A and B are shown apart, each in its own frame.
Chain A
């Protein structure tokens, strides 16, 4: 089946630094990538949608200059959290849509802790 590889699974960074999270579709072409944020015991909150080669579309209230999304190829999308602060600590999950199957395959998530 479709597999999305997300790295790193866990990262701790200092306040003020930037962190990059990668999502790769391993066996299909991801025409669209979705980035979510999830707080403990809560559902997924969509942050942004990106199509290959296009600028990402951000949900209301999400700072696009803080959460930089790049979708340069059909198999790779990245989320960079810039100038991270403790309130950015969260679980970030990507989801890739591919046309080969129904299509919404999730990565395994990245737990970001900003200290």
Chain B
């Protein structure tokens, strides 16, 4: 069983819809949670970063962490075709140089005009 599970998709939604993405994890030591967006043939771009449990909102993006359920989510409101990409969750137990991230497998999202 992988440490971080993420549905590979593809997830296809019409423009303007809410995109709902999630990851589950097994390591209770994870405290730092990140969501990255990766366009084809590009490096990942950090979208959201949260520490411990709770919600965080940034523009059209909302990240949620439920540590009791070991479940994190990313919601994208008013989705646009430019949101079509692969979304990767990542997490780590501590914030320190040299500490590697554990990634989910990524969910491919397609927003249809």
Interfacial residues, chain A to chain B (CB-CB below 8 A)? 4, 6, 31-32, 34, 41-44, 46, 49, 51, 91, 93, 95, 97, 99, 102-109, 111
Query: Chain A binding site: helix, strand, loop or mixed by DSSP?
Result: strand
Interfacial residues, chain B to chain A (CB-CB below 8 A)? 8, 32, 34, 36, 41-46, 49, 88, 90, 95, 97-98, 100-101, 103-106, 108
Chain A positions within 8 Å of B97 at CB level:
31-32, 51, 97, 99, 103
The residue that A6 contacts in the complex, of B34, B43, B100, B104, with Cβ under 8 A, is: B43
Q: CA–CA, A44 to B100, complex, Å?
A: 12
- Interface hub of A4, A95, A104 (most chain B Cβ within 10 A): A104
With A43-B105, A43-B106 as given contacts, are A102 and B43 in contact (CB-CB < 8 Å)?
no
Do B34 and A104 have beta carbons less than 8 Å apart? yes
Which residue of chain B is the closest to A4 with respect to CB atoms?
B43
